[in-house]
């Protein structure tokens, strides 16, 4: 029997990934949406979360796809109403509110899942397995994309809580925290803020590895032309490259895992994982990628760069 699910926040990622993933799932039926704008054809829509929760006590799960800042109130309302909650990345605007949501879910006896879609990219697990028994010498993340292409007109990303370049950068950090056998922590950062914006457009990060490996990341939202989402690692027994956001894996220059479609399988896998959590009554609130982002804002040197205009 499929769970009835409501989808709150019907923007680009919801239409491109969540709606088709739910439609293809054997575990979920999309029973309602929550948005003040255009909903999904053929699906009942409500203007706010409280109205949906009151009207549809039969809906067991709420998947939240709206921006991070308003997400806490929606999640808290759903948990208070006894519904299970699925959170688009990042799971909240602050670490404290994410911890609060987990505590609320435990007290209410419902499941909550902080999703990290990039961990479900086709070659991430193969990379994790390859690195597991090797000594890391260096690892570099290069995450370069064009904000105008991927986030057109989304002003919320430039406001406090919107994360700026860390909105895609946290995807890279979710992979990093999945594939490394030994955790790292941030040692320093430089954050580049357009003079007319509240969040960074680029960032350089340096991490401290317990065994002395050099671990770094470069995020930039100003990349025109070809886009790059790569992770390169050198070990005592060869080199590895995860490219295209984790879709493709090369070992010592030879391709060993490949996927032709960006995001292929990532969101369907998230809903499969949510179904597993529901069946076991579990909670999955791994916040390790978000810790690195928070540390970057704490440690980061601030540089002002040219203004950004859409």
| The domain boundary residue, chosen from 114, 129, 157 | 114
Integer angstrom CA distances of residue 123 from 169, 176, 240: 18, 13, 11
H/E segment holding residue 237: none
pLDDT at 256: 86
Q: What percent of the chain has pLDDT over 90?
A: 93
Sign of CA dihedral 82, 84, 89, 94: positive
pLDDT at 259: 61
| The domain boundary residue, chosen from 47, 79, 114 | 114
Q: How confident is the model at residue 263 (pLDDT cuts 50, 70, 90)?
A: low
Whether 277 is in a domain gets the answer no
* Whether residues 61 and 76 fall in one domain: yes
Q: How many CA atoms lie within 13 A of 32 on its CB side?
A: 22
CB distance 232 to 140 below 8 Å: yes
Asked whether the predicted pLDDT for residue 24 surpasses 90, the reply is: yes
Count of domains for the chain: 2
Mean pLDDT, rounded, for 123-150: 97
pLDDT at 194: 98
| The domain boundary residue, chosen from 91, 114, 137 | 114
Distance separating alpha carbons of residues 50 and 87, to the nearest angstrom: 17
Active-site amino acid positions: 89
* Domain CATH code at residue 93: 3.40.50.720
Mean pLDDT, rounded, for 177-204: 98
266-293 residue pLDDT tens:
999 999 999 999 999 999 999 999 999 9
């Amino acid at each position: 029997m499929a769970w009835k699910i409501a989808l709150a926040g019907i923007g680009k990622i919801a239409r491109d990934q969540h709606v088709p993933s739910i439609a293809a799932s054997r575990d979920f039926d999309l029973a309602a949406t929550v948005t003040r704008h255009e909903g999904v054809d053929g699906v009942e829509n409500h203007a706010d979360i409280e109205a949906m929760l009151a009207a549809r006590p039969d809906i067991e799960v709420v998947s939240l796809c709206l921006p991070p800042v308003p997400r806490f109130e929606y999640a808290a309302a759903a948990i208070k109403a006894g519904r299970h909650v699925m959170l688009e990345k990042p799971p909240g605007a602050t670490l404290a509110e994410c911890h609060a949501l987990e505590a609320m879910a435990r007290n209410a006896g419902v499941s909550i899942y902080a999703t990290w879609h990039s961990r479900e990219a086709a070659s991430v697990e193969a990379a994790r397995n390859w690195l597991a028994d090797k000594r890391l010498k260096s690892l570099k993340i290069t995450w370069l994309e064009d904000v105008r292409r991927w986030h057109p007109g989304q002003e919320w990303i430039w406001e406090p809580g919107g994360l700026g370049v860390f909105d895609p950068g946290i995807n890279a950090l979710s992979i990093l925290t999945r594939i490394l056998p030994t955790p790292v922590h941030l040692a320093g950062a430089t954050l580049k803020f357009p003079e007319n914006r509240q969040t960074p457009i680029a960032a350089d990060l340096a991490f401290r590895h317990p065994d002395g490996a050099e671990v770094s990341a470069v995020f930039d939202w100003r990349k025109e032309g070809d886009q790059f989402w790569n992770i390169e690692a050198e070990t005592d027994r060869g080199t590895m490259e995860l490219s295209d956001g984790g879709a493709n894996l090369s070992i010592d220059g030879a391709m060993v895992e490949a996927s032709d479609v960006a995001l292929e399988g990532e969101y369907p896998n998230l809903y499969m994982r949510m179904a597993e959590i529901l069946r076991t009554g579990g909670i999955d609130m791994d916040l390790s990628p978000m810790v690195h982002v928070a540390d970057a804002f704490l440690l980061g040197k601030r540089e002002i760069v040219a203004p950004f205009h859409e």
